[in-house]
Amino acid sequence: MCRALNQETDLQSNSVDSLKLEQLFEHLVALTEDEQQRGWSCKDDTEEISTMLLDLLGLLSNANPKVVIQVLQSLKYEPLLTLVQYYQLESRKTLKRQALQVLHESMLIQPDPICSILLTSRLPVQLASDIQANKVMSLLEQQCNVFCACLSYPNAMPASHYDQLDEIFLSYLLTAIEAEETPYDPENLIPAMFVKCALSLNLHYKDLRNNRVCNVLKSRPHATVLSETLLVSFNRAESLTGIFPQSEDGVRKIMLDLFGSPDTAELFFTNDVKVLIEVLHRNVIDRGEGDPDRVYYMRLLDRVISNTEYEDHTHYKYEIFQLLQQVKDEENSDRESKSEAARILKKHVILST
């Protein structure tokens, strides 16, 4: 009897939440279509819109996710695109921040297909433009959060976005990462936020030759903050782009990319390279047979030896040689690991001399 009553209560609650969501979405559409109010305000509707967005965020956060998904599916996810349009039209920073909070929460509830829908919209390009212009930290944080979420889920980015998320945007991010002081950022939050943005965008470059992130870095005399951040995160196995379970590890990818060329590998100081070699040596040891991570760490080790001035110091040479020899000769080792170890030993004769 109690179970039946609970089920009935749940159904009623779900029905109420569903109705509230539909009403809030209808309200959102009406606000967005009110061109007169958006273009030439006749009344101060800040409190009204803020209340609506907060109510919407509260429902997304607390309602049964299945109910939220069902409502969005029934509306073909059009309210989210309406919210993107509203964000673009709105000039009040508090309301823009709240709109982004709603979009971010929606992606967490149903990454597929919401991340794809937002990625293929104008939102990422708009956010890139806003990130460069905005000086309000509370809004900037949400802009970076949504930008990273859109780009971190494994979806193909529209070709037109590549032209607009360009070298100018990347240079802005990288310059801000290395800046000693930013007046509107007293807590120095920007470097960590912008590193995540750069790493999220880097996930979409599969061909190293056409990788704009690496190409922009090649032209920079140094990237001390970036390289130190990457090394610390790599050592701690922190992804920095792991917003969703399906997200690729942004730190591991960019480390492989950066050490794919001497021009970007030289951004790391010699002592940092030595530390990295020790980290890679440890990780190859810690990974068991058949673990794909083992091959990854060996491939990165190969790139570090190939594209840095390793011959000048031959750090950990004996330990690396012994480890690779052991992997190559293991009877039960997987074929890919054995092949990779043998390839590196053959390629780098210096390890055995």
User: What is 166-194 written as a DSSP string?
Assistant: -HHHHHHHHHHHH-S--TT-TT--HHHHH
Q: For residues 266 and 308, is the Cβ–Cβ distance under 8 A?
A: yes
3-state secondary structure of 77: coil
Q: For residues 294 and 287, is the Cβ–Cβ distance under 8 A?
A: yes
What integer pLDDT is reported at residue 316 of this predicted model?
97
236 by Cβ neighbours in 10 Å (0-12 / 13-18 / 19+) ranks as exposed
Identify the CA nearest to 217 among candidates 181, 261, 253: 261
Identify the CA nearest to 324 among candidates 341, 340, 305, 301: 341
**Token output for 137:** 């930290």
Q: For residues 80 and 117, is the Cβ–Cβ distance under 8 A?
A: yes
Give the single-character DSSP code of 158.
P
What integer pLDDT is reported at residue 234 of this predicted model?
98
Identify the CA nearest to 134 among candidates 83, 194, 48: 194
What integer pLDDT is reported at residue 150 of this predicted model?
97
Distance from C-alpha of 345 to C-alpha of 326, rounded to nearest angstrom: 11
The CA-atom distances, in angstroms, between 40 and each of 43, 44, 82, 296 are: 9, 11, 20, 57
Radius of gyration of the chain (CA): 25
Reading the chain (353 residues) residue by residue, the pLDDT tens digits are: 433 324 444 434 578 899 999 999 999 988 888 754 555 556 688 999 999 999 999 999 999 999 999 999 999 999 999 999 999 999 999 999 999 999 999 999 999 999 999 999 999 999 999 999 999 999 999 999 999 999 999 999 999 999 999 999 999 999 999 998 888 999 999 999 999 999 999 999 999 999 999 999 999 999 999 999 999 999 999 999 999 999 999 999 999 999 999 999 999 999 999 999 999 999 999 998 778 899 999 999 999 999 999 999 999 999 999 999 999 998 877 899 999 999 999 999 999 98
Please say whether the dihedral angle defined by the alpha carbons of residues 242, 248, 252 and 254, taken in this order, is positive or negative: negative
Long-range contacts formed by 12-15: CB under 8 A, 24+ apart: 13/64, 14/63, 14/64, 14/66, 14/67
What integer pLDDT is reported at residue 35 of this predicted model?
52
Q: For residues 60 and 109, is the Cβ–Cβ distance under 8 A?
A: yes
7 by Cβ neighbours in 10 Å (0-12 / 13-18 / 19+) ranks as exposed
**Token output for 176:** 């801000």
What integer pLDDT is reported at residue 169 of this predicted model?
98
What integer pLDDT is reported at residue 273 of this predicted model?
98
What integer pLDDT is reported at residue 38 of this predicted model?
52
Identify the CA nearest to 235 among candidates 286, 192, 299: 286
What integer pLDDT is reported at residue 334 of this predicted model?
86
**Residue type (1 letter), 182:** T
Q: For residues 292 and 328, is the Cβ–Cβ distance under 8 A?
A: no
> For residue 306, what are the contacts with CB-CB under 8 A and spacing of at least 6?
347, 348
Angle of CA points 295, 297, 302, to nearest 5°:
95
Q: Is the pTM of this model over 0.85?
A: yes
